[in-house]
């Protein structure tokens, strides 16, 4: 019983991280690489982020759905490298704006946190 | 913004249900295929490659589930799903649904109709722009004054900065000749600016008056109401610009006003331009003046300015001051001000009874469906989910109820407009329409109905212990305790409310019957009364006056079936000259008696004409002066007590009167005791305005015809009113009649609803308890004993309800008291009626279920198991 609840908690914690960052990663990926299908996005994120998506690539899809509903990305059917039918996602104008805004927020936040964490006791006095 | 966009995308997805499911499936498949391919390329065996891909991808079904929830709006979809299910369920048991919907429709319809009345008669201000600034104004002293205003004062007020505008109107009755028929309609002379003063008046056709119209030469311009235009001229658009005949004069129609425009009186249908500001000494041409106060000036300042202006304009105003009657308050009827809220309270009770009825129906049905609910909860539905399902059903019922209710309200209001126009619309300028406000109330009462009828049954009906409920359901056992208590509670409440309404309804009806059948002390049947004005200077000479009187008599006698004519000044029920003060008899040691008295001036045949018996003394003779009087009984008793008044005198207002006779008292039955005053009679002297009392045989002449005859008798005569006397009495009863009819209707609905509730609940209970009755009868209970069991059940509920309802009625005694006439809450026969009706209803409602229970055959029951 106890183990189960611990597992659940870690899962939840991990999911929170994903929700907050995955969307930004998807947007950045599409910005850099242009139109891409789900597998391509997942692989790209995996390459860069290590094992964040190693376990659960499927979680990408709800994020894609949400972004599409918000109008940040759009999708259409196309054919993949090995000539299979695949759904390709690309950034919209609104998505690009969103990416810039989110990127700026993110850098500001991390810079702030960095400064805060780097601060020594005497700096705070 | 993003969230909003997302909401709409999801809403659209919920509604359109595009092939998103397929798309996700294909995407996932492609994703897995590419992962597998990559794994194979890395040198893993195909089976293992696929396995690892699936592992890495994660739980596919959970993912689909999440996407499904994110794609649309699950709450909305469930609601739609529940609604669809509810509609199917309700359709399956169409009988129950029809009863529930109709009951709710009745509740909502009656509430909406009543609100429409309340709104038109009391709540809504007069339907003009900024009505709080509008007032009727006149000059008066401490003891009153004349409400009409001299032209000079009107001119002064128009120029005064106290008001944003001052306009005038005078209401009257006119004869309209169209084709071959002659009809009487409400008319008004108005100053052309009155429409601007009131604000927001737009003609349906044509135009309003120009500011210059109404002066001699252009005072023949009229506006017609839409109703008159449609009924009399068949809505002919070419009527604008044509001449029509009104009061024997060809006048020019310049426009048509919408039927909602009602001013200065509720029944005005013709408006004629008239310049009231032109100088005249004839008070007949003095109008009622309406003003709009300037918005930026305090009222006290405005009134001071108005007073100065009026005094400067006319020296007779030196000691008078402006009296103001706000237009809104002017139109409030004191009787309706009390009666309509009282009836609205009655409607709320009816609404509650009907809701309780639907609630107990729903509860019975939901407990019947326990198996379904326990099945669903066994399949994983939470209590909230099942409750929501149950609640959505009552929502669907109420939605249907609102639609049908609005239809019913429309029917009720249309009927009321046709059947009770005077009683309902008298003294309101608002049209009686189902408008947006009424629709709002209908919807609101629908929401209340959902909450009132749905919550409790949903809570109790879905309270399920799956195991026990499966067991009980299998064996067709008894009602659950909670449901039983609640159903009985609802029934008791229904009967209590019905009882309260029945008490009030019975009292209202008895009061009306008492009013209508009360002894008036005179014979009013077959009498037509005409009120004629002789005010013109033409009649100053006695000879010309006598000639006009004779001419009128001669003309009237040419009408068929006219038997007798009597002149009088004043007549019942409107009253004579109202006099108020101290009356002192010449009996030694007599104290002044303070009385309000009606003084009628009557011809010598007046008493014989109306069948008023002469008790003592004699009636008038030609040599009598205006100080020789006959007394009514009440006056004689009050002023002379036991002394015989014949030959004695009394003084009033420094004048001495000689008593020549005493006649039987006449009465004016009314809810307002001040209206029925003692009376005395003086000899008809030939001053002022006169009533011509005409007694006819089998059929009385048409009132329009009488008008024509009098107009033909002398051109200078004015006919103020022509009425059948019975109708005048009847009109006085219009309001109590409408209130009694409504009260009685409410009580009937409530009693029938309570009876239906009792019947259905007992029937349901008998169905549930079949097994118990079977066991009882197997153990030796006789059918009569079982029957008694059910009847007793019904009676316990009825008696409890009666007790509570009676207490409620007693506590409402004060509210009811002001509507009683000749009957009180202590009246035994009223209570006999109430107890009788409730008992009979209870027996009628529980008889069928009880006999059904007695017929249960234990053998058949055993077979069922």
What HEC string does B3-57 produce?
Answer: HHHHHHHHHHHHHHCCCHHHHHHHHHHHHHHHHHHHHHHCCCCHHHHHHHHHHHH
Cβ distance B34 to A82 less than 8 Å, yes or no, reads yes
Would the pLDDT of B144 be above 80? no
CA distance B714 to B711: 6
Burial of B12 (0-12, 13-18, 19+ CB in 10 A): middle
Interface test with B, best of A41, A58, A80, A88 (most B CBs within 10 A): A58
pLDDT-derived band at B479 (thresholds 50, 70, 90) equals low
C-beta separation of A83 from A59 below 8 A: no
> What average pLDDT score do residues B749-753 get?
89
The pLDDT assigned to A124 comes to 61
Q: At what angle do helices B481-517 and B828-854 cross, to 10 degrees?
A: 140
**A60-70 vs A2-33: helix axis angle to the nearest 10?**
50
Nearest CB among B5, B9, B24 relative to A61 is that of B24
Q: Is B705 on the interface with A (CB under 8 A)?
A: no
Is the distance from CB of A60 to CB of A53 less than 8 angstroms?
yes
Which A residues in the span 47-66 are in contact with B, Cβ-Cβ below 8 Å? 54-59, 61-62, 65-66
CB of B27 within 8 Å of a chain A CB? The answer is: yes
Contacts with B18 from chain A: Cβ below 8 Å: none
pLDDT value at position B426? 57
User: What pLDDT score was predicted for residue B18?
Assistant: 60
Quick: pLDDT tens for B513-543: 888 888 888 888 889 998 887 766 677 777 8
Q: pLDDT for B532-574, tens place per residue?
A: 877 666 777 778 888 888 889 899 999 888 899 888 888 888 7
Cβ <8 Å between A61 and B26 = no
Torsion of CA B98, B99, B101, B103, to 10 degrees: 150
Residue B209: strand, helix, or coil = coil
Q: Does A34 touch chain B (CB under 8 A)?
A: no
State pLDDT tens for residues B77-121.
Answer: 788 888 888 888 888 888 888 888 998 899 889 888 888 888 887
**DSSP letter assigned to residue B864:** H
A27 CB within 8 Å of a chain B CB: no
Q: How far apart are CA B784 and CA B351, in angstroms?
A: 37
Q: Categorize the per-residue pLDDT at B681 as very low, low, confident or very high, splitting at 50, 70 and 90.
A: very high
CB of A92 within 8 Å of a chain B CB? The answer is no
Long-range contacts of B723-728 (CB under 8 A, 24+ apart): B723/B528, B723/B529, B724/B527, B724/B528, B724/B529, B724/B700, B725/B524, B725/B527, B725/B528, B725/B529, B725/B571, B725/B693, B726/B524, B726/B525, B726/B527, B728/B529, B728/B573, B728/B574
Given A56, A69, A80, which is nearest B6 (Cβ)?
A69
In this predicted structure, the answer to whether residue B272 has a pLDDT above a threshold of 90 is yes
A85 with B30: Cβ contact below 8 A:
yes
Check: CB of residue B76 under 8 Å from CB of residue B406. Answer: no
B832 membership: H or E segment, kind and range: helix B828-854
A70 Cβ under 8 Å from any chain B Cβ:
yes
pLDDT at B421 (0 to 100):
59
Please give the share of chain B, as a percent, with pLDDT higher than 90.
Answer: 15
pLDDT at res. B427: 57
Distance from CA of B77 to the nearest CA of A (A): 18
Q: Does B37 touch chain A (CB under 8 A)?
A: yes
pLDDT digit string (tens) for B10-39?
A: 777 777 666 677 888 888 888 888 888 888
pLDDT for residue A8 is more than 50: no
Nearest CA distance, B200 vs chain A (angstrom): 48
| pLDDT above 60 (res A7) | no
Q: Tell me how far apart the alpha carbons of residues B70 and B63 are, in angstroms, rounded to a whole number.
A: 10
Query: Which of A54, A55, A87 faces B27 most closely, judged by CB atoms?
Result: A87
Q: What would the mean pLDDT of B712-728 be, rounded to a whole number?
A: 83
Write down the mean pLDDT value for chain A.
78
Q: Higher pLDDT residue, B297 or B69?
A: B297
Report whether pLDDT(A12) > 50.
no
pLDDT at B254 over 90: yes
**How near does any CA of chain A get to the CA of B60, in Å?**
7
Chain centre to alpha carbon of residue B806:
26
Q: What is the pLDDT of residue A48?
A: 81
Residue A66 burial by Cβ neighbours in a 10 Å radius (0-12, 13-18, 19+): buried
- Min Cα distance B61 → chain A (Å) is 10
Across the range B684-700, mean pLDDT stands at 78
Longest dimension (CA), chain A: 64
B618: DSSP letter? -
pLDDT, residue A6, reads 39
Query: Helices A2-33 and A38-49 sit at what angle, rounded to 10 degrees?
Result: 110
Highest average pLDDT, of B143-147, B376-380, B788-792, comes from B788-792
Q: Which residue has the higher pLDDT, B71 or B496?
A: B496
What is the pLDDT at residue B467?
A: 62
Q: Is A40 helix (H, G, I), strand (E, B) or coil?
A: helix
CA-based nearest residue to B632, from B647, B613, B650: B613
Closest of B745, B127, B750 to residue B437, by C-alpha: B127
Q: Do A82 and B37 touch (CB under 8 A)?
A: yes
CB under 8 Å to B396, separation ≥6 — which residues?
A: B83, B86, B87, B90
- At A96, the pLDDT band (50, 70, 90 cuts) reads very high
The pLDDT assigned to B80 comes to 84
What's the pLDDT at A2? 37
Q: What ipTM was assigned to the predicted interfaces of this complex?
A: 0.79
| Chain A residues near residue B10 by CB distance under 8 angstroms | 69
Give first-to-last CA distance, chain A, whole Å: 47
Tell me how far apart the alpha carbons of residues B635 and B640 are, in angstroms, rounded to a whole number.
Answer: 8
CA atoms within 13 A on the CB side of A67: 31
What is the distance between the alpha carbons of residues B641 and B796, in angstroms, rounded to a whole number? 56
Assign B687 a pLDDT band (cuts: 50, 70, 90).
low
In chain A, what residues touch B67 (CB-CB under 8 Å)? Answer: 61-62, 65
Q: Does B173 touch chain A (CB under 8 A)?
A: no
Crossing angle of helices B46-57/B20-41, nearest 10°?
130
- Tell whether the model's pLDDT for residue B160 goes beyond 80: yes
Omega of the bond leading into B512 within 30 degrees of 0 (cis): no
The pLDDT of residue B649 is 93
B9 chain-A contacts, CB cut-off 8 A: 69, 71
Q: Residue B359: what are its φ and ψ, rounded to 5°?
A: -60, -45
Looking at the complex, does the CB of residue B31 fall below 8 Å from at least one CB of chain A? yes
- List, for residues A49-93, the tens digit of each pLDDT value: 766 655 578 888 888 888 888 888 988 888 877 777 888 999 999
Residue B473 pLDDT > 50, yes or no? no
Q: Which of B5, B70, B71 lies closest to A71 in CB terms?
A: B5
Average pLDDT over residues B396-415: 89
Burial (Cβ within 10 Å: 0-12, 13-18, ≥19) of residue B663? buried
Euclidean distance between CA atoms B464 and B458, whole angstroms: 11
Nearest to B533 by CA among B714, B689, B723, B684: B689
pLDDT number for residue B628: 93
Is pLDDT above 80 for B720? no
Instruction: Answer whether B58 sits within 8 Å of A37, measured CB to CB.
Output: no
Give residue for tokens 């002023």: B639
Q: Which chain A residues touch B11 with a CB distance below 8 Å?
A: none
Chain B contact set for A56 (CB, 8 A): 56-58
**Hey, what long-range contacts does B548-557 have (CB within 8 A, 24 or more apart)?**
B548/B713, B548/B714, B548/B716, B548/B717, B549/B686, B551/B713, B551/B714, B552/B692, B552/B710, B552/B713, B552/B714, B552/B717, B554/B713, B555/B709, B555/B710, B555/B712, B555/B713, B556/B692, B556/B694, B556/B706, B556/B709, B556/B710, B556/B713
Give B598's strand partners. Answer: B578, B679
Q: What is the CA radius of gyration of chain B?
A: 38
Lowest mean pLDDT among B135-149, B297-311, B641-655, B821-835: B135-149
User: In chain A, what residues touch B59 (CB-CB under 8 Å)?
Assistant: 58
Q: Pick from B23, B26, B70: which is nearest to A62 by CB? A: B70
How many angstroms separate the CA atoms of B796 and B126, rounded? 51
Q: Which residue has the tokens 């094992």?
A: A51
Tell me whether residues A56 and B35 touch, CB distance under 8 A: no
Q: Is there a cis peptide before residue B573, judged by omega within 30 degrees of 0?
A: yes
User: What pLDDT does B222 receive?
Assistant: 93
Q: Does B21 touch chain A (CB under 8 A)?
A: no
Res A10: pLDDT: 42
Question: Of A62-66, B618-622, B810-814, which gets the smallest average pLDDT?
Answer: B810-814
Mean pLDDT of B395-401: 89
3-state DSSP call for residue B115? helix
Read off the pLDDT band of B1 (50, 70, 90): low
Q: At what angle do helices B74-92 and B383-419 cross, to 10 degrees?
A: 60
Across residues B367-388, what is the average pLDDT? 78
Q: How far is CA B652 from the centre of its chain?
A: 44
Kindly state whether A96 is in contact with chain B, defined as any CB-CB distance less than 8 angstroms. Answer: no
Closest CB to B58 among A56, A69, A84: A56
What pLDDT does B631 receive? 94
Q: From chain B, pick out residues whose CB is under 8 angstroms from the CB of A102.
A: none
Q: How far, in Å, CA of B494 to CA of B757, rounded? A: 8
Chain B hits for A84, CB-CB cut-off 8 Å, are 30, 33-34
* A42 contacts on B by Cβ (under 8 Å): 31
Contacts of B146 (CB under 8 A, 6+ apart): B138, B139, B140, B283, B286
Q: pLDDT above 70 covers what percent of chain B? A: 94
> What is d(CA B606, CA B684) in angstroms, rounded to the nearest whole number?
10
């Amino acid at each position: 019983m106890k183990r189960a609840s611990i597992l659940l908690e870690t899962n939840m914690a991990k999911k929170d991280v994903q929700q907050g960052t995955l969307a930004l990663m998807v947007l950045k990926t599409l910005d850099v690489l242009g139109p891409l299908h789900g597998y391509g996005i997942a692989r790209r994120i995996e390459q860069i982020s290590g094992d964040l998506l190693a376990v659960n690539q499927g979680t990408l899809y709800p994020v894609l759905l949400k972004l599409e509903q918000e109008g940040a990305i759009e999708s259409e059917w196309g054919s993949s490298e090995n000539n299979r039918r695949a759904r390709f996602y690309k950034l919209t104008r609104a998505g690009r704006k969103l990416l810039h805004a989110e990127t700026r927020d993110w850098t500001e936040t991390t810079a702030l946190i960095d400064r805060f964490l780097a601060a020594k006791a005497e700096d705070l006095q | 913004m993003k969230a909003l966009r997302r909401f709409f995308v999801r809403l659209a997805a919920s509604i359109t249900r595009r092939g998103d499911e397929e798309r996700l499936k294909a995407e996932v498949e492609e994703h897995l295929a590419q992962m597998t391919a990559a794994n194979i390329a890395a040198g893993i065996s195909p089976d293992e490659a696929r396995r690892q891909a699936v592992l890495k991808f994660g739980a596919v079904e959970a993912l689909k589930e999440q996407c499904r929830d994110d794609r649309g709006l699950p709450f909305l979809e469930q609601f739609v799903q529940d609604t669809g299910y509810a509609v199917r369920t309700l359709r399956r048991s169409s009988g129950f649904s029809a009863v529930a919907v109709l009951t709710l429709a009745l509740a909502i319809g009656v509430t909406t109709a009543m609100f429409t009345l309340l709104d038109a008669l009391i709540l809504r201000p007069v339907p003009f722009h900024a009505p709080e600034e509008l007032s009727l104004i006149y000059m008066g002293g401490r003891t009153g004054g004349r409400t009409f205003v001299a032209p000079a004062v009107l001119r002064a007020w128009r120029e005064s900065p106290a008001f944003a505008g001052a306009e005038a109107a005078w209401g009257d009755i006119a004869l309209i000749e169209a084709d071959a028929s002659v009809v009487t309609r409400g008319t008004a002379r108005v100053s052309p600016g009155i429409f601007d003063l009131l604000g927001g008046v737009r003609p349906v056709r044509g135009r309003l008056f120009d500011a210059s119209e109404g002066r001699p030469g252009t005072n023949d311009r009229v506006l017609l109401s839409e109703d008159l235009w449609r009924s009399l001229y068949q809505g002919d658009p070419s009527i604008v610009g044509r001449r029509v005949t009104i009061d024997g004069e060809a006048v020019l129609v310049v426009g048509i006003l919408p039927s909602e425009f009602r001013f200065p009186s509720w029944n005005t249908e013709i408006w004629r331009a008239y310049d009231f500001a032109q100088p005249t000494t004839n008070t007949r041409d003095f109008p009622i003046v309406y003003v709009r106060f300037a918005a930026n000036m305090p009222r006290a300042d405005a009134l001071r300015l108005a007073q100065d202006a009026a005094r400067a304009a006319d020296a007779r105003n030196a000691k008078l001051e402006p009296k103001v009657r706000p237009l809104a308050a002017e139109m409030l009827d004191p009787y309706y001000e009390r009666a309509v809220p009282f009836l609205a309270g009655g409607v709320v009770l009816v609404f509650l009874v009907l809701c309780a009825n639907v609630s107990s129906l729903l509860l019975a049905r939901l407990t019947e469906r326990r198996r379904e609910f326990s099945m669903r909860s066994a399949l994983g539905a939470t209590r909230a989910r099942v409750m929501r399902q149950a609640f959505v059903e009552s929502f669907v019922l109420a939605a249907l109820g609102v639609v049908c209710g609005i239809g019913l309200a429309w029917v009720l209001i249309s009927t009321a407009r046709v059947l009770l126009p005077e009683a309902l619309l008298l003294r309101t300028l608002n049209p009686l329409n189902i408008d947006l406000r009424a629709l709002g109330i209908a919807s609101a009462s629908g929401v209340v109905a959902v909450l009132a009828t749905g919550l409790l049954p949903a809570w109790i009906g879905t309270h399920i212990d799956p195991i026990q409920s499966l067991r009980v359901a299998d064996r067709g056992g008894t009602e659950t305790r909670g449901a039983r208590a609640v159903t009985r509670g609802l029934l008791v409440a229904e009967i209590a409310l019905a009882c309260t309404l029945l008490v009030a309804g019975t009292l209202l009806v008895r009061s009306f019957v008492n009013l209508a059948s009360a002894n008036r002390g005179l014979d009013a049947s077959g009498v037509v009364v005409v009120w004629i004005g002789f005010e013109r200077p033409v009649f100053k000479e006695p000879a010309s006056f006598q000639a006009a009187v004779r001419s009128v008599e001669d003309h009237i006698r040419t009408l068929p079936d006219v038997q007798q004519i009597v002149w009088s000044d004043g007549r019942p029920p409107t009253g004579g000259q109202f006099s108020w003060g101290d009356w002192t008899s010449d009996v030694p040691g007599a104290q002044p008696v303070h009385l309000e008295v009606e003084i009628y001036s009557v011809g010598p045949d007046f008493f014989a004409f109306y069948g008023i018996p002469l008790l003592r003394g004699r009636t008038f003779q030609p040599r009598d002066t205006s100080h020789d009087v006959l007394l009514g009984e009440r006056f004689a008793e009050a002023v002379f007590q036991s002394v015989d008044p014949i030959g004695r005198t009394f003084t009033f207002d420094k004048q001495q009167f000689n008593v020549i006779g005493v006649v039987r008292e006449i009465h004016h039955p009314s809810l307002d005791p001040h209206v029925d005053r003692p009376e005395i009679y003086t000899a008809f002297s030939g001053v002022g305005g006169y009533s011509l009392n005409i007694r006819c045989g089998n059929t009385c002449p048409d009132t329009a015809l009488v008008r024509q005859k009098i107009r033909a008798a002398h051109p200078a005569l004015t006919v103020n009113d022509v009425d059948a006397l019975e109708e005048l009495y009847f009109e006085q009863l219009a309001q109590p009649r409408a209130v009694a009819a409504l009260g009685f209707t409410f009580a009937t609905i409530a009693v029938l609803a309570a009876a239906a509730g009792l019947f259905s609940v007992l029937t349901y209970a008998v169905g549930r308890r079949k097994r118990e009755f079977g066991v009882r009868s197997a153990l030796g209970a006789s059918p009569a004993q079982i029957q008694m069991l059910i009847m007793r059940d019904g009676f316990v509920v009825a008696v409890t309800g009666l007790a509570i309802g009676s207490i409620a009625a007693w506590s409402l005694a004060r509210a009811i008291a002001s509507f009683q006439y000749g009957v009180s809450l202590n009246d035994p026969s009223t209570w006999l009626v109430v107890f009788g009706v409730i008992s009979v209803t209870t027996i009628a409602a529980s008889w069928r279920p009880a006999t059904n229970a007695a017929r249960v055959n234990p053998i058949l029951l055993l077979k069922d198991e």
